[in-house]
């Protein structure tokens, strides 16, 4: 019997191809007949790996995906397998230490978000501006493939913070997440709208399909959400991340909606971004006045963590933008191991 698309979604995506000794050893261990059959890479290797490199981020993404839909052929009981926790911890610490070193620091949350509300007049590093004015359809399709690793589970990583909040912050966060999940209507769930966008662009809509095509800067953008989400100690950073996305989303989405119209990407593509223009303009107010203000009223000591979450988000988004724009301006693909612009079947 041939498996349907729905069957494949229930079993999870296929495991990716390894990108080095960390991810290779992890993938071997996850598919071994029993945990002791294939030892995991040592934590010392993780501690010395490139914190933004392909190997570390694929390994971390693979470990994190066990908390979402898992992988075909990997048992659900591996999610919290104590044998893999030391490796995950070492990878997380390597990544987190790099972010603390590289993302700006020393500002309070109010200063960070005041700056984020001002759209920069320097558009040289903006993917949305590039796609709006110069982008070609093949670049839009690549952008959708890269973003699919998050948008097909949009808002899922942020749900973890809700039980860790109280009062105004909890109520505001839940209200925004309700909108993200379609306000009770399955056809309006934002992940579904993004799948519609992808279908309109002739892309595969299956969850996790483009993992092998995504370079490390794209994986890092997704990994940081789960890193913040899985740790109660990082709840302030997750609120900062979420708030940063909501505050900056509306202007970028307006540009991307214009890019979809200009390139003829289709109604579903345009709808995804126009929906975010409208929704996130409201969310921006709620997230600042209720979620951040409520959290800091309850736990003022988390101010620096909220600021860090936002600053780290901007830093990683800038790295991804630089990667994509460098490739596109040279007429090359931003995807891994791609010899040129996307073909119809990617």
For residues 114 and 177, state if they share a domain: yes
What's the first-to-final CA gap in the chain, in angstroms? 27
Give the structural domain span for 200. Answer: 108-329
For residues 121 and 50, state if they share a domain: no
Which two structure tokens, joined as six digits, stand for 126? 């903006």
For residues 64 and 150, state if they share a domain: no
CA atoms within 13 A on the CB side of 49: 31
For residues 46 and 122, state if they share a domain: no
For residues 175 and 264, state if they share a domain: yes
On whether residue 345 sits in a domain, the answer given is: no
Distance of CA 336 to the CA centre of its chain: 17
On whether residue 186 sits in a domain, the answer given is: yes
Listing DSSP states for 207-273 in one string gives TTTTTTT--HHHHHHHHHHHHHHH-GGGHHHHHHHHHHHHHHHHHHHHHHHHHHHHHT--HHHHHHH
On whether residue 334 sits in a domain, the answer given is: no
Phi-psi region of 264 (alpha: psi -120 to 50; beta: other; left: phi over 0): left
Helix (H, G, I), strand (E, B) or coil at 101: helix
On whether residue 343 sits in a domain, the answer given is: no
On whether residue 122 sits in a domain, the answer given is: yes
Among 175, 172, 177, smallest CA distance to 159 is for: 177
Among 300, 164, 174, smallest CA distance to 235 is for: 164
Burial class (CB within 10 angstroms; exposed 0-12, middle 13-18, buried 19+) of 121:
exposed
Q: Are 30 and 71 in contact (CB under 8 A)?
A: yes
For residues 182 and 284, state if they share a domain: yes
For residues 94 and 117, state if they share a domain: no
Longest dimension (CA), the chain: 59
For residues 260 and 191, state if they share a domain: yes
Query: What is the Cα–Cα distance from 142 to 145, expressed in whole angstroms?
Result: 5
Produce one character per residue of 139-154: b if its CB has 16 or more CB atoms within 10 Å, e if not. bbbbbbbbbbbbbbbb
On whether residue 337 sits in a domain, the answer given is: no
pLDDT in tens, the chain (346 residues): 334 444 445 568 999 999 999 999 999 999 987 766 667 888 899 999 999 999 999 999 999 999 999 999 999 999 999 999 999 999 999 999 999 999 988 899 999 999 998 777 777 889 999 999 999 999 999 999 999 999 999 999 999 999 999 999 999 999 999 999 999 999 999 999 999 999 999 999 999 999 999 999 999 999 999 999 999 999 999 999 999 999 988 888 999 999 999 999 999 999 999 988 876 677 888 999 999 999 999 999 999 999 999 999 999 999 999 999 999 999 999 999 754 445 544 4
Domain count, the chain: 2
CATH code of the domain in which 187 resides = 1.20.910.10
Among 165, 131, 322, 319, smallest CA distance to 242 is for: 165
Domain termination residue (choose one: 42, 74, 100)? 100
On whether residue 51 sits in a domain, the answer given is: yes
Which two structure tokens, joined as six digits, stand for 80? 């919290």
For residues 224 and 324, state if they share a domain: yes
For residues 252 and 273, state if they share a domain: yes
Domain termination residue (choose one: 55, 75, 100)? 100
For residues 134 and 240, state if they share a domain: yes
CA dist 288 → 11, 93, 113, 179 (Å) = 38, 29, 8, 16
pLDDT computed for residue 10 by the predictor: 57
On whether residue 340 sits in a domain, the answer given is: no
CB-based contacts of 12, cutoff 8 Å, min separation 6: 69, 70, 71, 72, 74, 207, 208
For residues 145 and 172, state if they share a domain: yes
Planar angle of CA 249, 138, 244, nearest 5 degrees: 15
Reported pTM: 0.93
Listing DSSP states for 162-219 in one string gives GGG--HHHHHHHHHHHHHHTGGG-GGG-HHHHHHHHHHHTT---STTTTTTT--HHHH
């Amino acid at each position: 019997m041939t498996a349907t698309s729905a069957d494949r979604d229930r079993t999870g995506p296929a495991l990716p191809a390894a990108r080095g000794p960390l991810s290779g050893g992890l993938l071997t261990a996850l598919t071994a007949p029993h945990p002791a059959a294939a030892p995991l890479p040592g934590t010392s290797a993780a501690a010395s790996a490139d914190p933004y490199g392909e190997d570390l981020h694929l390994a971390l993404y693979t470990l994190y995906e066990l908390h979402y839909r898992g992988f075909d052929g990997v048992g659900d009981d591996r999610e919290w397998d104590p044998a893999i926790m030391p490796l995950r911890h070492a990878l997380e610490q390597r990544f987190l230490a790099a972010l603390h070193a590289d993302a700006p620091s020393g500002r309070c949350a109010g200063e960070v978000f005041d700056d984020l509300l001002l759209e920069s007049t320097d558009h040289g590093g903006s993917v949305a501006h590039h796609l709006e004015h110069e982008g070609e359809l093949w670049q839009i399709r690549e952008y959708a493939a890269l973003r699919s690793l998050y948008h097909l589970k949009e808002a899922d990583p942020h749900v973890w913070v809700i039980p860790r909040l109280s009062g105004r912050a909890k109520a505001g966060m839940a209200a925004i997440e309700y909108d993200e999940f379609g306000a009770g209507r399955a056809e309006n769930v934002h992940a579904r709208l993004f799948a519609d966008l992808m279908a309109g662009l002739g892309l595969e809509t299956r969850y996790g399909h483009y993992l092998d095509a995504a370079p490390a800067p794209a994986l890092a953008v997704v990994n940081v959400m789960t890193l913040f989400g899985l740790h109660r100690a990082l709840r302030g950073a997750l609120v900062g991340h979420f708030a940063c996305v909501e505050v900056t989303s509306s202007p970028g989405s307006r540009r991307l909606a214009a890019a979809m119209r200009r390139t003829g990407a289709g109604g579903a593509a345009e709808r995804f971004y126009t929906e975010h223009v409208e929704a996130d303009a409201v969310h921006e107010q709620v997230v600042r006045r209720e979620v951040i203000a409520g959290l800091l009223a309850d736990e003022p000591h988390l101010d620096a963590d909220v600021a860090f979450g936002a600053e780290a988000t901007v830093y990683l988004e800038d790295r991804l933008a630089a990667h994509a724009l460098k490739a596109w301006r040279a007429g090359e693909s931003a995807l891994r191991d791609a010899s040129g612009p996307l073909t119809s079947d990617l």
